[in-house]
Amino acid sequence: MAAAEEDEVLPPRLPQLFETSQQLLDEVEVATEPTGSRRIQDKVSKGLELLKTAAEMLSQLDLFSPNEDLEEIASTDLKYLMLPALQGALTLKQVNSSKRLDHLQWAREHFLNYLTQCQRYHVAEFELPKTKNNSAENNSAGTSMAYPNLIAMASQRQAKIERYKQKKEVEQRLSALKSAVESDEADDERVREYYLLHLRRWIGICLEEIESIDQEITILRGKDSFKEASTLHSSREDRPPMKPFILTRNAAQAKVFGAGYPSLASMTVNDWYDQHRKFGALPDQGIAKQTSEVKRTGQQQEDEEQKEGEDEKRTLQQAREWDDWKDTHPRGYGNRQNMG
């Protein structure tokens, strides 16, 4: 009874921590529900806690030394080299928009630690991703060349093709060895090959994830700089208009020579417009405002002109009627008594 209680009190061992965290990562990756769901995020948090405890335990046990070669590491201990890669993968699964940039940087650091460790032990042939220091050196050295970017793009494309081919080969070989290793039926050589294949598989995954992380970090930083620029622009628009001023070398020169013209502007164009609009001194849609007297005089003139026009028409009509009458009544038409 006492032995059972002591077993329950004992903390989990390193193999249990590693296997549980790896199982949680597999469940998160194959889950059909959204990554931001409460159930998935609980698994992510639990997996990160287990991996953190496993990393602390690994450093205390001092299983790996930079002075030893890959052949000197025990076959059953090779899997613990994958701890930083698992930490990076679970860190990317965290969902928090306000801390997304921090999560990306932490995941990149974990992936880069894993790749550095694998390169130190010569697990596979690959190039480490560029850091801030060596990327700045490469950019300064490549400015004098005309086609460094095209060459780099071509090499990256070829590297992606090779990684894809290697990934397919590694996955096929892992599927063939998995059942034998998990059932403890494989010998030491096959167990070692199994974990080395896992290490090489995670090398390809880390390289791809770091490339995606760098692109997302660039987008997020550009978005933040755009927000800062828009905020600064809006604050500038809220400032009151500046008063007119002159530039002089000193006060004495301004007193002697003045501004060079009669006076400074006392108001802006908008102030002048508002002032005249307030007193009704502005034109109304291009037609000047008329007083009542001017309107009355104009009405009288229009009436007189209309009356004169009617008189002229009446006179003209009478003249036409008289001409028509003379045409039909010749001279002497009504006086026939004195005719011989």
pLDDT band at 148 (very low <50, low <70, confident <90, very high): low
Q: How far apart are CA 212 and CA 45, in angstroms?
A: 22
Predicted pLDDT at 185: 83
pTM: 0.60
Residue 114 has pLDDT above 60, yes or no: yes
* Of 219 and 183, more confident: 219
pLDDT band at 203 (very low <50, low <70, confident <90, very high): very high
CB 186 within 8 A of CB 217: no
Q: How many CB atoms lie within 10 A of CB 1?
A: 5
Find the largest Cα–Cα distance for the chain. Answer: 178
Q: How far apart are CA 279 and CA 2, in angstroms?
A: 101
In degrees, rounded to 5, the angle at the alpha carbon of residue 277 between the alpha carbons of residues 296 and 287 is 40
Residue 241 has pLDDT above 50, yes or no: yes
* Of 81 and 174, more confident: 81
Predicted pLDDT at 335: 60
Residue 246 has pLDDT above 90, yes or no: no
Residue 66 has pLDDT above 90, yes or no: no
Residue 326 has pLDDT above 90, yes or no: no
pLDDT band at 230 (very low <50, low <70, confident <90, very high): low
> Among 10-19, 225-234, 241-250, which stretch is predicted with the lowest mean pLDDT?
241-250
CB 210 within 8 A of CB 111: yes
* Of 141 and 114, more confident: 114
Q: How far apart are CA 223 and CA 272, in angstroms?
A: 42
Reading the block at residue 253, the tokens are 């020169």
Which residues, other chains included, contact 149 with Cβ-Cβ below 8 Å and sequence gap of 6+? 142
* Of 248 and 304, more confident: 304
Whole-number mean pLDDT of the chain? 79
* Of 335 and 328, more confident: 328
Residue 7 has pLDDT above 70, yes or no: no
CB 24 within 8 A of CB 40: no
CB 72 within 8 A of CB 125: no
Residue 287 has pLDDT above 60, yes or no: no
Predicted pLDDT at 271: 85
